[in-house]
Amino acid sequence: MAEKKSEAKSDAKPEGAAEAPKKGGKKFALITVALLAIEGGVLFAVFSMGAPKHAEAGSPPPLEVLAADEVKFVELSVFEDRVSNDASGVTYQYKADIHLKVRKDQETEFSAEVSDSKNEVREELVGIFRTAEPQHFQEPLHETLRRRIESKLRERFEKMKTKDHKPFVVERVLVVIGSGIRVSR
């Protein structure tokens, strides 16, 4: 009996020893590889079916060819004044000139529209300057202010029509802003 106990003790594992890996590891690896191969085949089939069969480049729509006289543009003054901004807590005053570049054939009608709504335009532009962030005035080309002003003026004028029922064309908005002068402490 003592021999049986010693054999049993020699077969027993010491405490804290890890179990040896089981013999199912090869099966698991083969099943995983097979599933990955099937998934890869399915993805390849799906992506290859969705490819366009034939692509043709179409010609662009024909552009309206304008005579050399119609392409000329002129600049119209919309706003020339001093504006203030106190968003930083200190009031600065800037000299601002805003001009629209419009088609020469629409110049007289555009000038009439600008003079008819001069105070409304002034109100909108002064509001843009007053709500602008101080860093917008520090930009070299005043891109942020120019985009806001251009958006507002295009919204106002491009929905209007000429006497010929053609829309007004604003080619570009020119914004010239001088350096600010501190007017309060």
pLDDT tens-digit profile of 98-124? Answer: 998 988 888 888 888 888 889 999 999
- pTM score: 0.57
- For residue 162, what pLDDT band results from cuts at 50, 70 and 90? confident
- In the prediction, which pLDDT does 53 show? 65
What does pLDDT average to over the chain? Answer: 80
CA distances from 87 to 27, 78, 90, 130, 144 (A): 71, 25, 7, 7, 15
The predicted structure's pLDDT at residue 184: 74
| CB-CB neighbours of 23 under 10 Å | 7
Predicted confidence (pLDDT) per residue in 65-90, tens digit: 555 555 688 999 999 999 999 888 89
Distances (CA, A) of 69 to 6, 26, 66: 114, 83, 8
